[in-house]
Structure 1
Amino acid sequence: MTDTAFLEDFHAVSRIGATPANGVDRQAATPADRETREWFRAFAERRGWETRVDGIGNQFALVELVPGAPYVLLGSHLDSQPLGGRFDGAYGVIAGLHAAARIADRAAASPAAGSTGPAYNVAVVNWFNEEGGRFAPSIMGSSVFAGIKREDEMLEVRDLGGTSVREALAGIGYLGTDARPEIASYAEIHIEQGRILERDGIPIGAVDRSWYTQKLDVEVLGEQSHTGATAMADRHDALLGAAKVIAKVHEVTEHFEPETLVSSVGQLILEPNSPIVVARRVHLVADLRADDADVVLAARDRLLADIADIADAYGLRITARDFDVRDNQHYPESGLALAEAAAAELGLGARRIRTMAGHDSVAMNRIAPTVMLFIPSVDGVSHCEREYTRDEDMIDGVAMLAEVGWRLVHGALQAEFVAAPASAPANA
């Protein structure tokens, strides 16, 4: 597979669900998501690869190198945020497909399986609902695969319109029943979504750890009333209370060293959402992340105290529930060394780097030896239409992933192998 072929495929997929400002809108289990899945399936079938879809909508392309052997799994996700960027996730899937094709071609030109041949097969995955924009929580498909989330519970999650995951997947023809492949290891490549690699002029990041992350599911309950006829002293305005909570979520970072903690509120639901009605209910999700778990927990405790004060001051009832908590994940040292050696072999600079964002590799790292790679993001911008990575950086990343994958199919990291969930019950 050539670099030109990769770029043609990447830019073709970027046209699916394209927005006027060069982004994409391909939320999970929508018609645009289905179109990218059909593209993935066609890519695999043209090459004679087996395709599968499991019970949570994860999509696999399987390349047999050693009959009966487990698989080295490469991939990421094709779904996007609303008005998202065209690189986030999709790059890793398309790079995975092209890397797998290069590995297959290289294996065909190499001696047969044996002392110098591959020990494992290779597969590519398009994980379901990594973004979590339509269905919460995010990183859903890989979390089910890894046994962190229950498949039956995730299938019943509903979007804001009331459609369940089960209904949405069935609606696009991707509620599968196929067996999940047994895996030996996992590798993922992704845009950095930060500025470190661009700032340092380094083409490859080897991810050594993830940040501790936790969300608070906050419900603010007041009393619905008339915006004109209700005296100010008699109001119990849920939106006002929510605004105060949002301000506190932002301000909590000021109690810690700069850049130690990041926080945000990214989703807000208002009822009844009428211009002449004082709001009776607001639902919001607060997101807290830091490298140090103790920092997140201290920020959470401070926010809970602030929320209680806001409820008392404005005559509201506010509840805050811990949601989507993810501890720090440290990627295996041997995987980092493998990535550094592969980069050196290719003449690419590499540095170790942390990930503040969540990725499917965070889930997979719990069950199999995992390598997570980054390529630069221009201006560090992501989850928006302005997201951009240069063609030459994407090409370097494909070569890097193919080299890492080649080493993995020859047994690298297997001293750290932990049995994958293929034999585990889907609802474990």
Structure 2
Amino acid sequence: MQFHHSRDLAWILAQIEQLAQFGQNKSGVTRLAFSPPDHQARQHVITIMQDMGLTVHTDAIGNIIGRFTPNGISADTPAVVTGSHLDTVPAGGKYDGVLGVVCSLAALRRLKTYEELRHPIEVVVFAAEESSRFEIAAIGSKAMAGLVKTAVWKRLKDADGIALADELQTLGLQTEHIETAARPANSIKCFVELHIEQGRVLEQGRVDIGIVDRISALTRLKITVAGTPGHAGGAAIEDRQDALVSAAMIVLAVRNIAVEYEYQGAVATVTILKTHPGVSNVIPGQVEMWVDIRGNEQEYIVEILQEIKDAVSSIADEYDTPVAIAVLSSEKPINLDDTLNQTIEAICTKLKLTSLRLDSRTGHDTMSLAHIAPSALVVVPCQDGISHNSSEYVAPENIAAGLEVLTETLYFLAK
């Protein structure tokens, strides 16, 4: 295959900049799932897909699917699927998710001209990959993989009390129908996602391409500490039930437990802390905190969870502040397809690009698709490993390398 490097790369860079305009502010890019900026970005990509001559439709959860079916190929032939997401965390960057979407479109623009294809190729924009708005990650890809929890999802609301069900209605969708987003058996031959690494392994090793063997599991907790509000000046220290003091001890405990397990590929982080009533002269009477636990081995996740529970129990007793722990999500590590990874490795060698097998501690839509089809995750270096941040940056030469590998991989799988 021959690549028009400069033309393809210039188009990709232009699209990344264009998509960054939807939700850009002085803090970065804020394009929460199903928000007005997300709708703008989604419509922009739909227009690109239509201009490419793809068959475009939106499924019952809001995933956008652009499909190219080669001439003479049955519509029932399993599709080679690629794609990523457009939604961001608050004050996020330009490349997370977007790079995979735009490079997938660029790859398909090239592949459409090849006559050897024997499988349809689909580019998917997965809805609501980030958990920033509704606290559950990869909503769109989970629905596509048949991993829906309809009763739970019907109740999902964001911090402003807006329901996921209401946001879906803005797209003409109803939560009662989201189970129909599940793909029929054998409709997907395989799935390949291109993404930024969100770490420094590739950059530090000066490696062009990362091929992910395993994606860490995510367990997310909500811990609520109950105390007694009181006057910050009038209440004696020894008489207080200060929920924030207990919460602070829990934050330190989580960090210390995480240190013990990091060498085993696991980590734990307190990500959100909310105090109530949140008044400058009142002792906090309640604190809510969210804990993110990730690991490559299920046994270590379970051990971390138990150690956190034990530490929380001891702190609650010592400071007389009752604590409740709710498990919001609990997933298992996902092993990706080794045969597919070997193929990608061979393609990297053919293209004279260096590659490295590695594990990912960041979650992706690939985790969902791996439940229903052989799946692979290809990652490219990002500067200083920074992501979920306005400083997120991927050098053009790394984008070009990722595009070449993705295009060659899709071509090999679809011919």
Task: Output the TM-score relative to the length of structure 1.
Answer: 0.88
1:11 has 2:17 as partner: yes
Tell me if the contact between 1:57 and 1:174 (Cα under 8 Å) persists in the aligned partners. Answer: no
TM-superposed CA distance for 1:333, in Å, is 1.2
Deviating more after overlay: 33-42 vs 146-155: 146-155
Deviating more after overlay: 363-372 vs 287-296: 287-296
1:86 has 2:94 as partner: yes
- 1:145 counterpart residue number: 144
Cα distance between partner residues in 1 of 2:335 and 2:263: 23
TM-superposed CA distance for 1:257, in Å, is 6.0
- 1:70 counterpart residue number: 78
- 1:398 counterpart residue number: 403
Tell me if the contact between 1:53 and 1:175 (Cα under 8 Å) persists in the aligned partners. Answer: no
Which amino acid is 2:167 matched to?
A: A
- 1:160 counterpart residue number: 159
1:20 has 2:26 as partner: yes
2:295 to 290, 296, 306: 290
Q: Secondary structure at the match of 1:302?
A: helix
- Percent identity, aligned pairs only, is 28
1:54 to 36, 39, 59: 59
Deviating more after overlay: 264-273 vs 185-194: 264-273
TM-superposed CA distance for 1:258, in Å, is 4.0
1:7-40 Cα deviation digits (max 9, x unpaired): 211221122212325x311111111111110111
Task: Output the TM-score relative to the length of structure 2.
Answer: 0.91
Cα distance between partner residues in 2 of 1:151 and 1:125: 22
- 1:357 counterpart residue number: 362
1:68-90 Cα deviation digits (max 9, x unpaired): 12321111110001011111111
TM-superposed CA distance for 1:63, in Å, is 1.3
- 1:306 counterpart residue number: 311
Cα distance between partner residues in 2 of 1:203 and 1:3: 16
Q: Secondary structure at the match of 1:233?
A: helix
Q: Secondary structure at the match of 1:351?
A: strand
Which amino acid is 2:135 matched to?
A: A
Which amino acid is 1:146 matched to?
A: A
Q: Secondary structure at the match of 1:105?
A: coil
Counterparts of 1:117-132 in structure 2, within 5 Å, are 117-132=116-131
TM-superposed CA distance for 1:151, in Å, is 4.1
- 1:324 counterpart residue number: 329
The CA RMSD measured in Å over matched residues stands at 1.9
| Alpha carbons of structure 1 residues 337 and 385: separation in structure 2 relative to 1, 3 Å | same
Which amino acid is 1:324 matched to?
A: S
TM-superposed CA distance for 1:214, in Å, is 1.7
1:186-205 Cα deviation digits (max 9, x unpaired): 11000001111111211111
Q: Secondary structure at the match of 1:83?
A: coil
| Alpha carbons of structure 1 residues 153 and 301: separation in structure 2 relative to 1, 3 Å | closer
Aligned length: 399
TM-superposed CA distance for 1:155, in Å, is 3.9
| Structure 1, unaligned runs of 5 or more | 111-116, 411-428
Tell me if the contact between 1:268 and 1:284 (Cα under 8 Å) persists in the aligned partners. Answer: yes
Q: Secondary structure at the match of 2:210?
A: strand
Tell me if the contact between 1:216 and 1:320 (Cα under 8 Å) persists in the aligned partners. Answer: yes
Which amino acid is 1:296 matched to?
A: I
Tell me if the contact between 1:220 and 1:282 (Cα under 8 Å) persists in the aligned partners. Answer: yes
1:262-286 Cα deviation digits (max 9, x unpaired): 2211122222211122222221111
TM-superposed CA distance for 1:259, in Å, is 6.5
Tell me if the contact between 1:56 and 1:151 (Cα under 8 Å) persists in the aligned partners. Answer: no
1:338-364 Cα deviation digits (max 9, x unpaired): 101222232222111110111110111
TM-superposed CA distance for 1:373, in Å, is 0.2
| Alpha carbons of structure 1 residues 155 and 73: separation in structure 2 relative to 1, 3 Å | farther
Q: Secondary structure at the match of 2:22?
A: coil
1:287-319 Cα deviation digits (max 9, x unpaired): 122222222222211111110111111111101
Cα distance between partner residues in 2 of 1:257 and 1:296: 11
| Alpha carbons of structure 1 residues 287 and 406: separation in structure 2 relative to 1, 3 Å | same
Cα distance between partner residues in 1 of 2:56 and 2:291: 38
Tell me if the contact between 1:263 and 1:289 (Cα under 8 Å) persists in the aligned partners. Answer: yes
Q: Secondary structure at the match of 2:29?
A: coil
- 1:276 counterpart residue number: 281
Deviating more after overlay: 312-321 vs 365-374: 312-321
| Alpha carbons of structure 1 residues 257 and 26: separation in structure 2 relative to 1, 3 Å | closer
TM-superposed CA distance for 1:150, in Å, is 2.2
